[in-house]
Structure 1
Amino acid sequence: MNVRTLYHTVRGLQDLAATERESAASPSIRRRLWLWRRGFLSRSDAVYDIDEATHREYLNDYQRFVRTKRINGTWSVALSNKLLFHRVMQPFDAHRMGVYGMIRNGSFHAVDGDDSRRQLTDGGAVVPTEDGGEDETDPQTAAERRDSSDAERREPAETRNAAQRVVERLESDGRLVLKWVRGGGGNNVLLCERADDGYRVNGDRYAEAEFRSLVSDLEEYLVCEYVEQGSFADGLYAGTPNTIRIITMYDAENDEPFVAAAIQRIGTSESAPLDNFTQGGLSAAIDLETGELGPGVQPPGDGDLEWHSVHPETKTPVEGVQVPGWDHIRERILEMADACSFVPYVGWDVIVTGDDGEFSVIEANSYPGLKSIQVHGPLLTDDRVRRFYERHGVC
């Protein structure tokens, strides 16, 4: 075992132990030992239908936390670093969320020219023309660009003040997302909103001074646009963004990617401001051919899984609802996976923004969580999925 493999194994086991400590489930000692010997946490016993006949059909927790981390190797950074992922996604700009800049050491560092999508100047940024580029027919363009660059280098330090730039952006956009440049699972994501009485961050009220202090203390956070979900996603539950998780795998034998599984995540008052399944949100399986949703399921508290054909709070339909433009979404994600074939295992998080399959990729994960996926059935019953994991030494 080389040093890198040992490192990932130790980190994976640490994650495994931490997750087990947080588990609310309390099966008997005998049952816990049975699960551990087969690679499962106690929490999985409440979500999966595990017995002696079925446990080998599930990708277990040891395989997920320890072995799937190795699939993408050194290229996992292309997904785990959100700024790098934003760059990797540049050929698919129509499906990228806007990234305005990064907060570091209290300063704002512009990304993509501090958002070339907007028609404003800010700290010397070039104002794009209607087609998104500069007017190259103007003989003074190059000179003005040099002057602009010189002006930016000479600008006083306060114009790079992160809190000021975020406040200004909120005045313009109304809502923003601040997310840590590393990490996933919905952790370290701040949904920020301008309100009449100050600001809201993940639903909590902040006075302006408090908000500025919060932003100033952030380190290596991206300042991103808030992607407005379309009527389909908003109709599922308006209180949270409701994302689709799509897992793609690259089939080296056939030299093509494929979709292994897809779910629609739906928020609840328990999971708000996000739609995370582990925090009480719903997971509804998506039929990979038709795009039709199955019933939504919630993780158990102290009892059994709860299955819902309609949203438990709003009573809006879930089961049987069609993802608009599913064929387009699926094929476009496969194009992205093909372009990133050097990263063979990806969990894509997507928000449907329109009624014809328009969507934005919010982020991607290098070793996605599987409870919200396998709650609908074990992954390893699909031969193509099993072969992928076997090829990469996971099972």
Structure 2
Amino acid sequence: MGRRPAGTVVNVRQLYHTIRGVQDLAATERESTVSRSLRRRCWLWRRGFLSRSDAVYDLDESTYRDYVSDYQRYVRSKRINGTWSVALSNKLLFHRVMQPFDAHRMAVYGMLRDGTYHPIDDRVDGPAAGSAARHELADGGPALEAVSGTISGTESDRTEGRRERDAPHTTRNAAQRVVERLEAEERLVLKWVRGGGGNNVLLCTRTEDGYRVNGDQYAEVEFRSLVSNLDEYLVCEYVEQGPFGAALYPETPNTLRIITMYDEAAGEPFIAAAIHRIGTSDSAPLDNFTQGGLSAAIDPDSGTLSAGAQPPVDGEVEWHSRHPDTGVPIDGAQVPGWHRIRERLLEIAAGCSFVPYVGWDVIVTDEDGSFTVIEANSYPGLKSIQVHGPLLADDRVRRFYERHGVR
């Protein structure tokens, strides 16, 4: 029997992902709360857009071609990173990919599977020492050489003397280990190893009379039951945002979403778009735009913010020059240490050039531009980006999408 042509496997894989993408597109349209006439919906569908996009973008015959459509995002942009998309969609693998940039990755203490705790980078010296090591790396100290190599199996050799495993525990019971960690740190993030968009993320806090998870109160027995039933969840440090983000809205972590693209002709990555996501009382405990958070565009040269856009429930986008809950100015505010953040993130993107299309989620941790990458996305959502204007109006961005078959 002859060998199957290699192209057959590729075509089958692409067909599968195309079908899945169209299914996701249809499901999203069915769930939409935005009402449009049948005639308008047909106009949108023929051009690849969902009704929800019509409430966010300025779509007409003269403008729609400048926007990345929902079809292009759900179906075609998923192909850009190819098999390496798993390096971002699997959060544990991404944690390993970020190993050379340890100054900018959060700690992942362990994984929960079937009620069992599996250590990943639990430390004897605890979060304070880990934080100190990351600052040493960010400042170019001696530990920088320990993680400047490429990803390999020599992590313990490069980080010897700076990181250690926890001493052996008497139990690997998932609930017990999470409770112990919360006793030490008071806050943790539990996140599913797969998936994005803020889904399946649990922000856990130790309180005087139990635990709080995403704002809901749990007695200890309820919390232990919750943790025991989690499967393939990572136990991660809670990254404290700096004064700037906390002042905007202290009830949520407020992240930067920065999209980088790798320009093969120039042999370098570039920033295609950047926004500051800011939580509100509608989106808490997270800052997600689709759940009612704000999106403020970041000027790529100065780091200055625009007014914050808030998605409509049904109607038009609302624009806020000040935060609707805290009253803190947004329009004209400046991301602290933006130039340092921009240049360092481009260095990281260059080190991950085998993944040419990345949506980075970043928490700024001080006023000097120190930051932690908490997640990365292989086909990032674009409504919070294109609410500020169409991506394809930028020639370099358009060429990137054309080169990768999205346009």
TM-score by length of 2: 0.87
Which residue pairs with 1:186 in the alignment? Answer: 198
- C-alpha distance in 2, partners of 1:115/1:19? 42
Given that 1:311 and 1:318 are in contact with CA atoms closer than 8 Å, whether structure 2 keeps it comes out as yes
Aligned positions of 1:302-317 closer than 5 A: 302-317=314-329
Aligned positions of 1:128-147 closer than 5 A: none
Q: Given the alignment of the two structures, is residue 251 of structure 1 paired with residue 259 of structure 2, yes or no?
A: no
Q: Given the alignment of the two structures, is residue 62 of structure 1 paired with residue 71 of structure 2, yes or no?
A: yes
Which residue pairs with 1:137 in the alignment? Answer: none
What secondary structure is seen at the aligned counterpart in 1 of 2:194?
A: coil
- C-alpha distance in 2, partners of 1:257/1:51? 32
Please point out which of 270, 273, 277 is paired with 1:265: 277
CA RMSD of aligned residues (A): 1.6
- C-alpha distance in 2, partners of 1:239/1:256? 37
Which residue pairs with 1:144 in the alignment? Answer: none
Q: 1:62 is matched by which residue type in structure 2?
A: Y
Given that 1:25 and 1:302 are in contact with CA atoms closer than 8 Å, whether structure 2 keeps it comes out as yes
User: Residues 116 and 382 (structure 1 numbering): CA distance in 2 closer, same or farther, change over 3 Å?
Assistant: farther
Please point out which of 29, 33, 37 is paired with 2:38: 29
Q: Given the alignment of the two structures, is residue 93 of structure 1 paired with residue 96 of structure 2, yes or no?
A: no
- C-alpha distance in 2, partners of 1:119/1:268? 28
Which whole-Å deviations, capped at 9, do the CAs of 1:58-117 have from their partners, x for residues lacking one? 0000000000000000000000000010011011111111110000111000002x2355
Given that 1:264 and 1:283 are in contact with CA atoms closer than 8 Å, whether structure 2 keeps it comes out as yes
What secondary structure is seen at the aligned counterpart in 1 of 2:126?
A: coil
Aligned positions of 1:191-202 closer than 5 A: 191-202=203-214
Q: 2:233 is matched by which residue type in structure 1?
A: Y
Which residue pairs with 2:154 in the alignment? Answer: none
What secondary structure is seen at the aligned counterpart in 2 of 1:160?
A: coil
Runs of 4+ that moved beyond 6 A: none
Which residue pairs with 2:217 in the alignment? Answer: 205
- C-alpha distance in 2, partners of 1:81/1:304? 35
Given that 1:99 and 1:115 are in contact with CA atoms closer than 8 Å, whether structure 2 keeps it comes out as no
CA displacement at 1:304 relative to structure 2: 1.1
Which residue pairs with 1:118 in the alignment? Answer: 126
- Unaligned 5+ runs, structure 2: 1-9, 129-141, 144-163
Which residue pairs with 1:227 in the alignment? Answer: 239
Q: 1:225 is matched by which residue type in structure 2?
A: E
CA displacement at 1:35 relative to structure 2: 0.2
Q: Given the alignment of the two structures, is residue 367 of structure 1 paired with residue 376 of structure 2, yes or no?
A: no
- C-alpha distance in 1, partners of 2:183/2:34? 45
- C-alpha distance in 2, partners of 1:347/1:109? 28
CA displacement at 1:301 relative to structure 2: 1.4
What secondary structure is seen at the aligned counterpart in 2 of 1:222?
A: strand
- Unaligned 5+ runs, structure 1: 121-130, 133-147
Given that 1:293 and 1:321 are in contact with CA atoms closer than 8 Å, whether structure 2 keeps it comes out as yes
How many residue pairs match? The answer is 364
Aligned positions of 1:146-165 closer than 5 A: 152=168, 159-165=171-177
What secondary structure is seen at the aligned counterpart in 2 of 1:330?
A: helix
- C-alpha distance in 1, partners of 2:319/2:325? 13
Given that 1:246 and 1:349 are in contact with CA atoms closer than 8 Å, whether structure 2 keeps it comes out as yes
Which residue pairs with 1:124 in the alignment? Answer: none
What secondary structure is seen at the aligned counterpart in 2 of 1:79?
A: helix
Which whole-Å deviations, capped at 9, do the CAs of 1:318-362 have from their partners, x for residues lacking one? 000000000000111101110000000000000000000011001
Given that 1:350 and 1:363 are in contact with CA atoms closer than 8 Å, whether structure 2 keeps it comes out as yes
Please point out which of 363, 377, 389 is paired with 1:377: 389
Please point out which of 27, 30, 42 is paired with 1:18: 27
Aligned positions of 1:346-361 closer than 5 A: 346-361=358-373
Which residue pairs with 1:142 in the alignment? Answer: none
Please point out which of 3, 6, 11 is paired with 2:12: 3
Given that 2:35 and 2:314 are in contact with CA atoms closer than 8 Å, whether structure 1 keeps it comes out as no
CA displacement at 1:119 relative to structure 2: 8.0
Which residue pairs with 2:50 in the alignment? Answer: 41
Which residue pairs with 1:387 in the alignment? Answer: 399
Q: 1:26 is matched by which residue type in structure 2?
A: S
What secondary structure is seen at the aligned counterpart in 2 of 1:232?
A: helix
Q: 1:287 is matched by which residue type in structure 2?
A: D
Which whole-Å deviations, capped at 9, do the CAs of 1:34-70 have from their partners, x for residues lacking one? 0000000000000000000000000000000000000
- C-alpha distance in 1, partners of 2:213/2:237? 15
Given that 1:106 and 1:163 are in contact with CA atoms closer than 8 Å, whether structure 2 keeps it comes out as yes
Given that 2:55 and 2:314 are in contact with CA atoms closer than 8 Å, whether structure 1 keeps it comes out as no
Given that 1:98 and 1:115 are in contact with CA atoms closer than 8 Å, whether structure 2 keeps it comes out as no
Given that 2:210 and 2:217 are in contact with CA atoms closer than 8 Å, whether structure 1 keeps it comes out as yes
Which residue pairs with 2:355 in the alignment? Answer: 343
- C-alpha distance in 1, partners of 2:93/2:35? 41
